[in-house]
Amino acid sequence: MEYLLLATIVLPILGAVFVGLSPGRAAARLALFIALVTAALAIFAGIGSFPGITELKVGTLPWMAELADTDLFGILLDPLSLLMLLVVAVIGFLVVLYSNEYISRRNREHPHENGQARYYFWLLLFVGAMTGVALSPNLLQLFMFWELTTICSWALISHTHEKSALRAGYKALIMTHLGGLGFLIAIIVLYVSVGSVEFSALSLASPALASTLFILFLIAAWAKAAQVPFYTWLPEAMTAPTPISCYLHAAAMVKAGVYLICRLVLANGGLPGNAALVGIIAALVTMAVAVFLYFFQTDLKRLLALSTISQLSYIILGACLGIFGSTLAYKGAVLHIVAHGCAKGLLFLCVGAIAYATGCRRIPDLRGLAAKMPLVAVCFVVGLLGVVGVPPFGTFWSKFYIIAGAFSLPGTLGPLVGVFLLVESMVVFAWLLYVTQRVFFGAASEAAELGADPPWQMSGSLIILAALVIAAPLAALVVVSHLL
């Protein structure tokens, strides 16, 4: 079983090389096959080892042998990494499936088929890097895969090689990499002061040092997860092909940032409260900023990007509330990774299908799409309900956990945060519902006349994700009950 898990890292990375060497459509088919096998392996091995903890030491590098007593590199699977692994692998497969049709001349937004080998090479590498992040047993290995995801996202955001795309990819690379320096510094300082790069090493440091280090990790996570003040790269990265945006938002890249925080909180009991407070305040500010910017956004895809920013704040917030002792909020945060991943992934794929058919993403130009593309309309509404948390859909459960966890804390901070979250949820709900009605209902606009439901590769991904929006959080509820 351990080796099957290892294969979920190795297979996509090795496969990426083969895919990169294949010509045109063959690359797409091969990538689809590899992604499918990876997802199947992840599901089989992941669920097979649940609810236990699986560890495997693989080896170390000669010059790093002194860093730890045992082999440094390997894999670790516990309920937290299980959820992350499944999200990464399953959504990765769906994105590859979707891309098989999306990267084509039939696409009205990006009508070209060039560079498929390059595209699938980076995409599979991305999947491998993310499973690596999910399965990393210590901070050092996590950091390596972390930076690998940055490179992959740089290449994929710039995929079309248009000027704006190149610029957006470069911006994403610089901003997340600069934030990642915080991660690197924190690891070095941690190793120098307590002699370990384990996840749990943070609690060995003195409280003052621990809070400084935690804030450094937070900076890395903020940059990666596009939180204030680093959020500006994410809306610009919307120039990427939509399946890439989907993967970036639903499962990869930004989720790596919040995963780091969840991992640190899980491994370290008794982290200092003032560092957690910084995380909470930053999360609240991010939510406020993102929600404010909703009202001025006219690009459907960028609106979703802003929504991601505020939803990721929920996860960081829940994890930081966990530091204050609210296990419920922490579990909610982990649950939110899954629930938000499915719902946001679905929304992005729907927007991709709209752009594929109509070549348009501007909210004012889109009207009455429901009559032309009923399947996409249904999926979009399901995704919307999943993101805003209308029961029994997706994020209702995770948001409820976080809000109930916040209210359960003694003192005034928790209830205040809870009220803030409720208000934020309402505003987001109202605005997104308004936008959905505008885009899908009413008489069809000129752009919408072109609309049609997409071919089976894209429809299939949509339908599977729509089912997951409802089912995945319920399954994840079982998994999170084994956390802590």
Partner 1 sequence: MSPTDLAVLSMALFVIGAVCSAVLARDRIRCGYIAFVFVLAAAAAASTAGVRVFLNGPAADAPLLRIADLGASLTVHVDYLSALFLIVVALIATVTTLFSIRYLEAHPQESALRYYPMLLLFFGGVVGVVCTWDMLFFIVFWEFMTLASYFLVVYHRDDAVALRAGLKYFIVTHVATACLIAAVIILYVHGGRSFSFEAMRVGVTNLAVHAPGLLHVVLGLLFVGFATKAGIFPFGDWLPDAYPAAPAPVTAAFSGTMTKLGIYGLVRVFFQFLPVYDTCLVWGAILAAFGTLSIAIGTLTALAQDDSKRLLSFSVVGQMGYILLGVGLGVYFRPLVPALAALAVVGGLFHMVNDACYKSCLFLSAGAVEHRTGTRDLNLIGGLAGLMPLTAVAAIFASLAISGIPPFSGFASKWLLYHAAFMGGKTAPFTLVLGLIAMFVAIATLALFLKFVTITFFGKLRTPDPKRELREVPLSMVLPQGVLAVLCVVFGVAPMLAAKPVYAGIAGMLTGGEIPGFAAVFGSGSAGLALNTGVGIQGAWMPWPILIALAATAALAYVIYRAGDAEVLVSPVWYCGEEHTDEETAYLAHSLYRPFKDMLRVRIGPYETEGIYPRLPRLRAPGFGWLRRLFDFDQWAYYPFIRWGARLVGRFSETHSGIAQLYLLWMVIGTVAAVAVLLWLGGS
Closest to partner 1 by CB, 15 or 318: 318
3-state secondary structure 307-349: HHHHHHHHHHHHHHHHHCCCHHHHHHHHHHHHHHHHHHHHHHH
CB neighbour burial string for 150-178, b if at least 16 within 10 angstroms, e if fewer: bebbbbbbbbbeeeebbebbebbbebbbe
Cα 400–chain centre separation: 20
Contacts with partner 1, 197-236, as mask; x by CB under 8 A? -------------------------------xx-xx----
From residue 224, alpha-carbon distances to 27, 183, 325, 408 in Å are 29, 11, 26, 30
CA angle 283, 76, 175 (to 5 degrees): 35
Closest to partner 1 by CB, 115 or 415: 415
| Residue of 43, 58, 293, 413 interacting with partner 1 (CB under 8 A) | 293
Is residue 418 a contact point for partner 1 (CB under 8 A)? yes
Q: What is the dihedral of CA 457, 460, 461, 465, to 10 degrees?
A: 180
Q: How many CA atoms lie within 13 A of 159 on its CB side?
A: 28
Q: How many CA atoms lie within 13 A of 321 on its CB side?
A: 36
Is residue 419 a contact point for partner 1 (CB under 8 A)? yes
Would you say 341 and 255 are in contact if contact means Cβ atoms under 8 Å apart? yes
| Cα first-last separation, the chain | 23
| Residue of 391, 449, 456, 467 interacting with partner 1 (CB under 8 A) | 391
What is the footprint of partner 1 within residues 317-336 (CB under 8 A)? 327-328, 331
Distance CA 171, CA 318 (A): 29
Is residue 364 a contact point for partner 1 (CB under 8 A)? no
Is residue 385 a contact point for partner 1 (CB under 8 A)? yes
Q: How far is the CB of 145 from partner 1 (least distance, A)?
A: 27
Closest to partner 1 by CB, 164 or 232: 232
Stretch that binds partner 1, among 32-40, 254-262, 263-271, 432-440 (CB under 8 A): 432-440
The string of DSSP codes covering 243-306 is HHHHHHHHTSTHHHHHHHHHHHHHH-SS--HHHHHHHHHHHHHHHHHHHHHHTT--BHHHHHHH
Token digits for 31? Answer: 């990538």
Is residue 50 a contact point for partner 1 (CB under 8 A)? no
Is residue 154 a contact point for partner 1 (CB under 8 A)? no
Is residue 300 a contact point for partner 1 (CB under 8 A)? no
Q: What is the dihedral of CA 212, 215, 220, 225, to 10 degrees?
A: 170
Backbone angles phi, psi at 31, to 5 degrees: -60, -40
Is residue 416 a contact point for partner 1 (CB under 8 A)? no
Count of residues that bind partner 1 according to CB under 8 A: 44
Closest to partner 1 by CB, 14 or 293: 293
Closest to partner 1 by CB, 364 or 392: 392
Is residue 294 a contact point for partner 1 (CB under 8 A)? no
Q: How far is the CB of 400 from partner 1 (least distance, A)?
A: 7
**Tell me, what amino acid is at 174?**
I
Is residue 403 a contact point for partner 1 (CB under 8 A)? yes
Q: How far is the CB of 418 from partner 1 (least distance, A)?
A: 7
Closest to partner 1 by CB, 33 or 295: 295
Is residue 192 a contact point for partner 1 (CB under 8 A)? no
Is residue 467 a contact point for partner 1 (CB under 8 A)? no
Q: How far is the CB of 374 from partner 1 (least distance, A)?
A: 9
Q: How far is the CB of 481 from partner 1 (least distance, A)?
A: 5
Residue pointed to by tokens 């957006």: 168
Residue pointed to by tokens 């730890």: 68
Is residue 21 a contact point for partner 1 (CB under 8 A)? no
Could you list the residues that contact partner 1 (CB under 8 A)?
175, 228-229, 231-232, 289, 292-293, 295-296, 327-328, 331, 368, 370, 385, 390-392, 396, 400-401, 403-404, 407-408, 415, 418-419, 422-423, 425-426, 429-430, 433-434, 437, 441-443, 477, 480-481
